[in-house]
Structures are given as structure tokens and as C-alpha cells.
Structure 1
Amino acid sequence: MLQIRPISDLRNKFTEIESVVKEGEPVYLTKNGYGAMVVMSLEKFAELTDELEFKLDEADKSADLDKKRVTHDEMFDQLRRHINGK
């Protein structure tokens, strides 16, 4: 179940929040009725970021092997063309 709590619960009800995130569920914290942050377990965070870090490492290795470089404008132009099917 989606857990949305006021940010004050982080201080006042830490053990409750801790038990939720230990179960693998994130807790969304609000400040003045607006989203402020998300609290999650280290395991869940690692699960979300490990593949991204792996892909970035692959990109670094590929870049080391290929000396061709493009500007960020050229890269985004290529991405836009690819996304738009041109």
C-alpha cells in the first residue's frame, strides 16, 4: 500500500517508517502538503541503481575504445531524430 506521510513523521515515528522501508516499500514524505522526498531501504535503492551504474560503466568502456567525440548538441540532435523516427 502506498505510504504518504508528513515529513514530521520521519522524526516522530521513525520506527514505523523504518519497518515499512525494511519490507521493500518506499515512504513518500510531504512538507506543507507537497511532495518533499522519498525514503527507501538501501537494498531497494541499490536494486534501482545497480543496472544504471552497470550501463554507465559499459558506456565508459565503450567510450575508451572509440575516440570519436560529439558535442552535447550533436548527441541530443541524434536522440531527437531517433525518437521522432527520422
Structure 2
Amino acid sequence: MIIKPSAAIRQNYNEIADLCREAKEPIFLTKNGEGDLVVMDIDTFNRREKMLKLREELLVVEEARAMEEKGYSIDEVVNMMKKSVDGVGNGK
């Protein structure tokens, strides 16, 4: 976890932007010693959003399975996961 004072973004935006891209994780900014903001580069944000969407889709499938609705074969699940992972890796 990377933590910086909020003044760092005002004083040196480029340094914080570079740090976000290099770290590929959120940077936590504090104000008066307390958590205030979280910043991340756009690629990291998009990757996280796609992973959240995939988790939501998997949860829906799992809930349907638990309710004994039509399931998917192993091959179908593998293909769906490959498509999702490929989309995350390609920035789609």
C-alpha cells in the first residue's frame, strides 16, 4: 500500500501519475494525517472495473446454479473465462 500526503498531488502531479502507472495499484492520499483520496492510473482502474464485472457475472452464475437453474459445462465456463481474461489483458 502506497500512502502519500495530499499536498504531493498538488506539488508534483507528474511524480504521483508516474507512481500510479508503475505501481499498478491505488495510491492513498492523506490530509492532515487522515485518509482523504485514492488515485490510480486509468489502465489500473479499467482492469479493476473489468475484474469486478467478471466477479459479478460469476456470482450470478453461482447463484443460478445454487437455485438449480440450467448450468454450464466445464468447456463453456472455460471459454467464458478465457474471453473475460483476454478482454482484461487487452484493455477491452
Please say whether Structure 1 and Structure 2 have the same fold, judged by a TM-score greater than 0.5: yes
Q: Counterpart of 2:51?
A: 51
Gaps of 5+ in 1: 64-86
1:2-21 C-alpha deviation (Å, 9 max, x unpaired): 42111111111111101101
Distance change in 2, residues 1:50/1:14 (3 Å):
same
| CA shift for structure 1 position 53 | 2.0
Runs of 4+ in 1 over 6 A off after TM superposition: none
1:3-82 to 2 correspondences below 5 Å: 3-23=2-22, 24-56=24-56, 59=60
Q: Counterpart of 1:73?
A: none
- Larger radius of gyration, structure 1 or 2? 1
Q: Give the Cα–Cα distance (whole angstroms) in 1 for the partners of residues 25 and 52 of structure 2.
A: 20
Gaps of 5+ in 2: 65-92
Q: TM-score, normalised by structure 1?
A: 0.56
Q: TM-score, normalised by structure 2?
A: 0.53
| CA shift for structure 1 position 49 | 1.7
Q: Give the Cα–Cα distance (whole angstroms) in 2 for the partners of residues 51 and 35 of structure 1.
A: 25
